[in-house]
Amino acid sequence: MWVLSRLLGIVPTLLGVVIATFVLTHLLPGDPAVFFANSPTADAATIQAIREKLGLDQPLWRQYLIYMGDLLQGDLGKSITTGQPVARDLMQRLPASAELTLTAFLLAVAVALPLGIGAALRPRSLIDHACRLISTAGVSLPTFVTGLLLIYLFYYLAGVSPEPIGRLDPFAAPPPTVTGFFLIDTLLAGDPASFLSALSQLILPSVTMALFALAPLARMTRSAMLGALGSEFIRTARANGLRWHKIVFSYALRNAMLPIVTTFGMVFSYMLGANVLVERVFAWPGVGSYALDALIALDYGPVQGFMLVMAAIFVLVNLIVDIAYGVIDPRTGLTNA
Partner 1 sequence: MHDRLAMVRHVLLDNPPNLIASLVLLALLIAAFLGPWVVPYDPIATNTRVALQAPSAQHWFGTDQLGRDVFSRTVVAARLDLVIAFAAVLLSLALGSAIGAAIGYFRGALDATVSRVVDVLMAFPLFVLAMAMVAALGNSVTNVVYATAVINLPFYIRLARAEVSMRSTLGYIEAARVGGSSHVRILCVFLLPNILPSLVVQASLNLGWAVLNAAGLSFIGLGVRAPTPEWGIMVAEGAQFIVSGRWWMALFPGLALMLAVFCFNLLGDGLRDIVDPRNRT
Partner 2 sequence: MDRREFGIGAAAVALAGLVPMHRATAQSRAESLRVLSEGSPNSFDPIGIGVNRSSIQVTWNTYDRLVRFGTKPREDGTLYYDYFTIEGELAERYEISDDKRSITFHLRKDATFHDGTPVTAEDVKWSLDRIVASPIGKAQFSTGSMTTPDQFEVLDAQTIRITTPKPDRFTLPNMATTYPIIINSKLAKSHATDADPWASEWLKTNIAGGGPFKLDSAVPGQSVTLSRNDGWKNGALPGFQRVLWQVVPNAQSRRTSLERGDADIVQDLPPQDAVSLAQEAKVKVVGVPMAGAFQFIGMNGNMAPFNNVKVRQAVAYALPYQQMFEAALFKRGRPLFGGKPGEADGMEFPQPLGYATDPAKAKALLAEAGFPTGFDTTFSFELSLATVAEPVSLLIQEALGQVGIRVTINKVPGGQLGTLLEKKEVPFFFEGSAAYLSDPDYFFRIFYNGATRWNFGSYANPEFQGLVEKTRFETDKPVYETEVKRMITLAKEEVPIILLWQPTLDTGMQKSVDGYKYLFHRMLELRTLKRV
Contacting residues for 228 by C-beta, under 8 A, at least 6 apart: 234, 251, 252, 253, 255, 256
Q: Which of 202, 291, 299, 301 binds partner 1 (CB under 8 A)?
A: 291
User: Footprint of partner 2 on residues 114-133 (CB under 8 A)?
Assistant: none
In angstroms, rounded to a whole number, what is the distance separating the alpha carbons of residues 148 and 281? 7
Angle of CA points 299, 309, 292, to nearest 5°: 35
CB contact at 8 A, 20 and 11:
no
Sole binder of partner 2 in the list 127, 285, 318, 322 (CB under 8 A): 285
> Smallest distance from the beta carbon of 214 to partner 2, in angstroms?
7
Q: Pick the closer one to partner 2 by CB: 79 or 269.
A: 79
243 conformational bin, left if phi > 0, alpha if psi -120 to 50, beta if neither: beta
**Nearest distance, CB of residue 156 and partner 2, angstroms:** 5
Q: How far is CA 252 from each of CA 73, 116, 216, rounded to the nearest angstrom? A: 49, 13, 19
Residues between 5 and 34 that touch partner 1 (CB under 8 A): 12-14, 16-17, 20-21, 24-25, 27-29
Count of residues in the chain: 337
Q: Which is nearer to partner 1, 238 or 280 (CB)?
A: 280
Alpha carbon distance 33, 298 (integer Å): 9
Stretch that binds partner 2, among 69-77, 98-106, 118-126, 206-214 (CB under 8 A): 206-214
Residues that bind partner 1 (CB under 8 A): 12-14, 16-17, 20-21, 24-25, 27-29, 123, 129, 132-133, 136-137, 139-145, 148, 152, 156, 215, 223, 226-227, 229-230, 270, 272-274, 276-277, 280, 288, 291-292, 295-296, 303, 306-307, 310-311, 314-315
